[in-house]
Amino acid sequence: MKMDKSSLDAECCALNTVLVEEKKGHLIPNGSAHQGANGTLTISAATGAMSAAQKKQALPERETWTRQMDFMMSCVGFAVGLGNVWRFPYLCYKNGGGVFLIPYVLFIFLGGIPIFFLEIALGQFMKAGSINVWNIAPLFKGLGFASMVIVFFCNTYYIMVLAWGFYYFIKSLSSTLPWSSCDNPWNTENCIVNFRHNECHNGTIGNSTFGNRTCEELANGRSPIIEFWENKVLNISDGLDEPGVINWELLLCLMAVWVMVYFCVWKGVKSTGKIVYVTATFPYVVLIILLVRGVTLPGAYDGIMYYVKPDWSKLGEAQVWIDAGTQIFFSYAIGLGALTALGSYNRFNNDCYKDAFVLAFINSGTSFFSGFVVFSILGFMASEQGVDISKVAESGPGLAFIAYPKAISMMPMAPVWAALFFIMLLLLGLDSQFVGVEGFVTGILDLFPGKYYMRYKREIAVAICCLLCFIIDLSMVTQGGMYVFQLFDYYSASGMTLLWQAFWECVVVAWVYGADRFMDDIARMIGYRPFPWMKWCWSFITPCVCMGIFLFHLLNYKPLTYNNVYVYPWWGEVIGWCLALSSMLCIPVSVVYKLSAAKGTFRERWENLTKPVWGAHHLEYMAPDTDIKSLASLSPGTEENKVIIFESVM
The residues, ordered by sequence, that sit 6+ positions from 390 with a Cβ below 8 Å of its Cβ are 306
Residue 10 host element (H or E): none
3-state secondary structure of 191: strand
Distance CA 460, CA 479 (A): 32
Distance CA 244, CA 53 (A): 59
| Residue 318: alpha-carbon gap to chain centroid | 25
Q: What are the start-end ranges of the E strands in 438-581?
A: 561-562, 566-567
Could you tell me which residues are annotated as the binding site?
Answer: 77, 79-80, 84, 331, 363, 428, 431-432
- DSSP H helices, 446-494, are 457-473, 481-487
What is the biggest distance separating any 2 CA atoms in the chain, rounded to whole angstroms?
103
The secondary structure of residue 63, as a DSSP letter, is P
The residues, ordered by sequence, that sit 6+ positions from 489 with a Cβ below 8 Å of its Cβ are 157
CB atoms within 10 A of CB 584: 18
Distance CA 14, CA 299 (A): 76
Exposure b/e, 229-263, CB count within 10 A at least 16 = b: bbbbbbbbbeebeeeeeebeebbebbeebbebbbe
Distance CA 543, CA 517 (A): 18
- Find, among 233, 229, 225, 231, the residue nearest to 249 by Cα: 233
CB 255 within 8 A of CB 56: no
The residues, ordered by sequence, that sit 6+ positions from 353 with a Cβ below 8 Å of its Cβ are 117, 121, 522, 526, 530
Could you tell me which residues are annotated as the binding site for Na(+)?
Answer: 77, 79-80, 84, 331, 363, 428, 431-432
**CA count, 13 A, side-chain hemisphere, 435:** 35
CB atoms within 10 A of CB 396: 15
The residues, ordered by sequence, that sit 6+ positions from 547 with a Cβ below 8 Å of its Cβ are 499, 503
Residue 353 vs residues 512, 524, 617, 644: alpha-carbon distances, Å: 22, 12, 20, 23
